[in-house]
Structure 1
Amino acid sequence: MSNREQTPDLDFSKEGKINSSHLVQTKTRTGTSSIETKAEKKNTPHSDPRKSSPNDEKFSQLFSSENFEGANSEDSKMDLSIRWETDSSDTDKGSYSTDSDSTPSTLTPGMIITGNSKVYNVEEILGSGTFGEVARCCIEGQDKVVALKVTSGKYENAFLNEVETLQLLNKLTNFKHYFIKCNDSFTYQGFLCQEFELLDQTLLDYLKKRGDPFKVAEIRAIAQQMLVALSALKHLGITHTDVKLDNIMLVNHDAQPFRVKLIDFGLAFETECLPENVVFQNLKTRAPEITLGLPRDEAIDTWSLGCLLSALFLDCHLFPYENEYDNLRIIMKLLGQPDKKLLDEGTLVSDYFRKGKNGSEYIKAFLDLVKKMLTVDPSNRILPADALKHPFITMDKKIADSDFTCDFSYVVNMFSPCMCGFSLGAPVPPTNTKNIAG
């Protein structure tokens, strides 16, 4: 059972004045009265994330007096300009979405929005995307500027997921400074609103403005902070699933160079409930186990961070992202192929690989033929007529290792990714490319 009290579903037809704890409790990790089974949760589509509560022992350990501060504890306040994440990263157009599916503009400078106990004066529209808009707002009666994210009601699940997850993370004494702070959440005229601390800009925006790759020392600072963040998420049993350049923000680059925070938890999952046999993650930073339908856990976030750090160093993405086939092809070429056991388990492996019988024997036959064709002494080089009778050409099913006399050790290493009997299949036509995440 959840440690949180269940409350009635939120009525989005009513206007604001609902505190954030109510919002979170309307759909806790164990849900409302119509609780899903674990099997159902594991197959929940990525666009509709659900999570179940941590076990009591882990919960008590994490929220011990050493790691916990009350919900009203003060965090650092920085009133700066902001650039927000959107779903436009696959088109590499930065943090301002031009998607045709973007939510119609609902915010305008000078607009007044009433929250739970605050009144927000919209000063500037900072970004817009599929999920909604983000505005720089001044709170009436307070000398404080915040970021207000306004989301369509149809993204209720992602909204509640992010609010709940950040409430959890923002209470961790030792780790809360690695995650964006969510101050409040409420509804306004049917829209879902979140008040965030105002940060500086995303790494993607900064990289574009900078124009040059990051220095190794700068990358180290970012890597250290993000690894702490991922360690905290692993300890909590949470997987972010969307670690990318526009989901990491500089806090105040002028005052605190390369201090960063992880943002956007709308697609976070409890790790044990990560959907199986479902393709998600941005292809630029997608772990190969997602594409191949292999078992997945929080290690997918580590892969994404590795891709992200490489992009900062190279000033370009390490792996192709136009389609899954080219993405996998370069991954395998640079890093090697998963072992046979993993490929046998992958539910989507057959979309990209073909498995041949007696694979290792045919590879050896191939290497034997190539060696005979590349004999330095032309008088000893195999004749075309004899090559046509070679077992590799005839596909003799009775191939035996004793048929070959050459030492393959120096060339087998070059072909080691293929020795398990799998080879990368034909490219998937672009029109058949599927499930490339935003």
Structure 2
Amino acid sequence: ILLPLIFLEKHLKVEVESKSETKGNRNTSFGVKEGHYLVGNQGIYKVCKFLGEGSFGKVAKCTKLGSPGFCAIKIMKSDRAGLREMETMKRIKHLDPDKNHLVKMYECFSFQNMTCIVYEILEESLYNFFQKYEHHIHLCHIRVMAQQLLTALEAINSMGLIHCDIKMDNIMFIRQNCINVKLIDFGLALETKELTTVSRVQVTPFRAPEVILGLYPLDKSVDMWALGVVLASSYFGKYPFSYHTEYDTIRAMVQIFGVPEPEVLEKAEHTRGFFVLDYEDDDLCWRLQTPEEHEQITFSLTFSSGCWRSILKEELHQVKPSCDPREKPAPQENLEKTEAPHTDSDQAKMPIGVKKRKKVFSVKKDILLIGNLGNYKVSDVLGEGSFGKVFKCHKEETEDIYAIKILKYVSDAKKEVEVMELIRDLDPDKNNLIKFYEYFTHRNVNCVVYEMLHQRLYDYMHKPTHLCNIRSVAEQMFQALSALKSIGVVHGDIKLDNILFADKNSLRMKLIDFGLARKAKELVKGTKIQVTPFRAPEVILGLPLDESIDMWALGMVLACLAMVQIFGLPEEDLLTAGEFAGNFFTSDDGGNDPVFLDLLKRMLEVNPQKRIPPSQALAHDFITMRHLSGESAAEYFATAKTIMGSPSSSSSSNSSRTTNGNPQTPESKKLILWR
């Protein structure tokens, strides 16, 4: 899966830099409080509560005296910005706001040196939807939003206006029980002719490349880029481009789309802030600056641009597994590869050839273990295997948390510690290996102290796994195996249980449990090692053994994460008849992912002159579904059309309903497609 949507919660809400003011200035600019009254041209409004606050003003939920219902009033200082938004909304008022999916304005007025614009009250923003429900939006619903927002852009473009601030905060659902959105906040909107003189617009995550590169004059295509980023973020659950710095954004774009065309870079004013001219095969051409080069030029640190961007341009290469250990690539070779093999779940918990021992442990919760480097208070049991138990413990002096593996048999403990002492010379963080701290005995039990990690990869198997995440797992484990090989150690027990996430909010992983590890020279033909699902064919057949048994097991782990991508989907009648099919597969838009990605690529075209305009986007196959054919496609088409329905009618039976606020597709007699 892609990384967790907590990422969105932390980073999605970003204000336009050009709006920034200090919080103190904002607070002193407004004397309006809850319960106050605002006198307008069409009535008197009572402030019930404040819905939000930005650098230009506040938005209040109000009631109009003598009228039912609520409205939203944006209260601003009567400065140029407030008056500008008022004039823009007066122009937009001539459009049909429901038909064109634009926020409805009722009136504008000035009151006590404040500009007040009265809007219809809407339900929640797309950003808040992600915060609340923490899941991606179904492709059917993205189609509806795309159609509505493209209609909005086409409408304001017809008035000679450009929004200039499209982001998830500025797209709102009309109500909770329908997929019907409107575009709001025209505080930064400009006339098309004005945009030719402007150099900086848009929030960083949604900023078009022509704005960053200084490809002037700007035009209405900046809005199309921002909308493309919104749709991509809705589909994938995170931004397609990093935005910590503009260099990171450009770097991500280059990794997906390649270096922009030479004529674009030669025309742009800020090209040399991101690209350099260099020789390639005796030809002088532009290339992206390396992070080190950019840091030297700008003196600003850059951040990694995210692991999933490549999903827009790469497909899985199916790899036929080899039974000959000599044909398996070495870990170092795999570190340079961009694709990875894949697999399914881990049922075996105890290695073959090891006799199950009676587990008798006196260690219990709240017992104090006396170590060499400090005392550890036992908390919870994290896991239990055939060799011992693992406890979560707190170090008494520092309250730091550790994982302590308790082994009853001295021989098992000494064998594991001997390997861990070899590994200690390696950098555990760099090489993605669990960190070992100390070994001690306490009341005849053997204690091995490790760093505390988060969740097993096995526990993650109930969620779909994107290829980009599989790639990240593969790269880190190849590094771990490469490090082990450099000291002549074979892990011998690689499986989903023994790969752990280092922390909750990242894809950083570590290899654990070296209880069966041994030096490669100790592996002799006929040794029974590895659990059955991950056992290499040379172990089964009794062939000579070496480090490549770990590579086989890792290949099986990766295959577990993406079995469907290797073997394809089971037949539809099997999935429909299967009682447990829903645990592993879900109905989805067959054949629509590539079409949707094509629309995204055309919306996120780096060259603004080639970027698709709203009118063409509305006619794209993703919206019209002209590419679908066949009986099953006809059923899908009908369902999708039902969802798209008549969005302007809130009571229409065609509106897509929700369950507990979660948009759901209409029920169908049978599953349309599986994934």
Which interval holds the TM-score relative to the shorter structure? 0.5 to 0.7
What secondary structure sits across from 1:150 in the alignment? Answer: strand
Q: CA deviation at 1:284?
A: 0.4
Question: Which residue, 358, 361, 368 being the options, matches 2:281?
Answer: 361
Measured after TM superposition, the shift of residue 149 of structure 1 is 1.1
Instruction: For 1:421, give the aligned amino acid.
Output: W
Contact 1:183 1:197 in 2 (8 A): yes
Aligned counterpart for 1:106 among listed residues 9, 15, 31: 31
**CA-based RMSD:** 2.8
What is the SS of the residue equivalent to 1:192?
strand
1:158 aligned residue: 81
Task: Show the counterpart of 2:294.
Answer: 427
1:138 to 38, 47, 63: 63
What's 2:116 paired with? Answer: 193
- What corresponds to 2:140 in structure 1? 217
Alignment partner of 1:228 is 2:151: yes
1:92 to 2:18 alignment: no
Match for 1:191: what amino acid?
Answer: M
Of residues 193, 198, 203, the one that matches 1:282 is 203
Change (3 A) 1:94 1:109: farther
**Contact map agreement 1:161 1:265 (CA 8 A) in 2:** no
Give 1:149's aligned residue: 74
Q: Which amino acid aligns with 1:350?
A: R
Secondary structure in 2 matching 1:258:
coil
Q: Which residue of 1 aligns with 2:182?
A: 261
2:52 pairs, out of 123, 127, 134, with 127
Q: What is the distance in 1 between the residues matched to 2:58 and 2:198?
A: 32
**AA at the equivalent of 1:272:** K
Given that 2:73 and 2:118 are in contact with CA atoms closer than 8 Å, whether structure 1 keeps it comes out as yes
Q: Name the structure 1 match of 2:265.
A: 343
CA deviation profile, 1:348-376 (whole Å, cap 9, x unmatched): 111111123xx34347xxxxxxxxxxxxx
Note closer, same or farther for the CA distance 1:238–1:212 as it changes in structure 2 (3 Å cut): same
Q: CA deviation at 1:108?
A: 2.2
Q: 1:293 aligns with which of 214, 219, 239?
A: 214
- 1:71-129, Cα deviation, whole Å (9 max, x unpaired): xxxxxxxxxxxxxxxxxx9953479x998436115332211121224111111111112
**TM-score normalised per structure 1:** 0.60
Residue range with higher mean Cα deviation, 170-179 or 332-341: 170-179
Higher relative CO (Cα under 8 Å, sequence separation at least 6) belongs to: 1
Query: In structure 1, how many angstroms separate the alpha carbons of the residues matched to 2:89 and 2:104?
Result: 7
Give the structure 1 partner of residue 106 of structure 2.
183
Tell me how far 1:421 sits from its aligned partner: 3.3
Q: Distance in 1 between matches of 2:14 and 2:221?
A: 26
Distance in 2 separating the partners of 1:176 and 1:431? 49
Distance 1:174 1:145 in 2: 18
Q: Distance in 2 between matches of 1:221 and 1:167?
A: 27
Equivalent position amino acid for 2:228 in 1: G
1:7-52 Cα deviation digits (max 9, x unpaired) = xxxxxxxxxxxxxxxxxxxxxxxxxxxxxxxxxxxxxxxxxxxxxx
1:299 deviates by 0.7
In the alignment, is the contact (CA less than 8 A) between 1:175 and 1:232 conserved in 2?
Answer: no
- Residues 105-114 or 210-219, more deviating: 105-114
Distance 1:212 1:351, change over 3 A: same
Q: What CA distance in whole angstroms lies between the structure 2 residues aligned with 1:162 and 1:427?
A: 38
Check 1:163–1:308 CA distance in 2 against 1; reply closer, same or farther (3 A cut): same
Instruction: Give the secondary-structure state (helix, strand or coil) at the position aligned to 1:143.
Output: coil
Query: 1:251 maps to what in 2?
Result: 174
Alignment gaps of 5+ in structure 2: 1-8, 302-675
3-state secondary structure, aligned to 1:107? coil
Larger radius of gyration: 2
| 2:237 counterpart of 1:315 | yes
Aligned length: 284
Partner of 1:33: none
C-alpha distance in structure 2 between counterparts of 1:237 and 1:139, whole Å: 33
2:239 is matched by which residue type in structure 1? H
Letter of the 2:288 counterpart: S
Distance 1:309 1:176, change over 3 A: same
Following TM superposition, the consecutive aligned residue runs of length 4 or more in structure 1 with deviations greater than 3 angstroms are 89-95, 97-102, 173-177, 419-423, 428-433
Corresponding position of 1:17: none
Amino acid across the alignment from 1:136 = K
Deviation sequence 1:228-280 (CA, Å, 0-9, x none): 111122222221111100011111122xx120111111111112321447232
- Long gaps (5+) in structure 1: 1-88, 364-418, 434-438
What SS does the corresponding residue of 2:121 show, helix, strand or coil? coil
TM-score under structure 2 length normalisation? 0.40
Q: Is the 8 A contact 1:292 1:346 kept in 2?
A: yes
Structure 1 residues 361 and 310, CA gap change in structure 2 (3 angstroms): same
Find the residue that maps to 1:427 and give its secondary structure.
helix
- The 1:307/1:228 distance shift into structure 2, 3 A limit, reads same
**Conserved in 1, the CA contact under 8 Å of 2:273 and 2:294?**
no
Aligned counterparts, 1:408-427, within 5 A: 420-424=285-289, 426-427=293-294
Q: Judging changes above 3 Å, is the alpha-carbon distance between structure 1 residues 349 and 277 closer, same or farther for their aligned structure 2 residues?
A: farther
User: Structure 1 residues 422 and 98 mapped into 2: Cα distance closer, same or farther (>3 Å)?
Assistant: closer
Partner of 1:304: 226
Local SS of the residue matching 2:106: strand
CA distance in structure 1 between the partners assigned to 2:112 and 2:209 by the alignment: 42
Distance 1:173 1:290 in 2: 31
CA distance in 1, matches of 2:174, 2:40: 25
Q: Secondary structure at the match of 1:249?
A: strand
Residue 173 of structure 1 deviates from its aligned partner by: 3.9
Identity in percent: 30
The Cα shift of 1:424 comes to 2.8
Q: Which residue of 2 aligns with 1:414?
A: none
| Structure 2 CA distance for aligned equivalents of residues 98 and 276 of structure 1 | 21
8 Å contact kept, 1:200–1:249:
yes
Mapping of 1:35-54 within 5 angstroms? none
CA contact (8 A) 2:162 2:190 kept: yes
User: Structure 1's 361 and 277: CA in aligned 2 closer, same or farther, altered over 3 A?
Assistant: farther
Q: 1:326 aligns with which of 248, 264, 273?
A: 248
Separation in 2 of the partners of 1:322 and 1:162?
29
Residue type of the alignment partner of 1:348: H
8 Å contact kept, 1:360–1:421: no
**Conserved in 1, the CA contact under 8 Å of 2:48 and 2:62?**
yes
Equivalent residue number for residue 116 of structure 1:
41
In the alignment, the residues of structure 1 paired with residue 239 and residue 129 of structure 2 have an alpha-carbon distance, to the nearest angstrom, of 16
Distance change (3 Å), C-alpha of 1:310 and 1:127: same
Which amino acid is the alignment partner of residue 278 of structure 1?
S
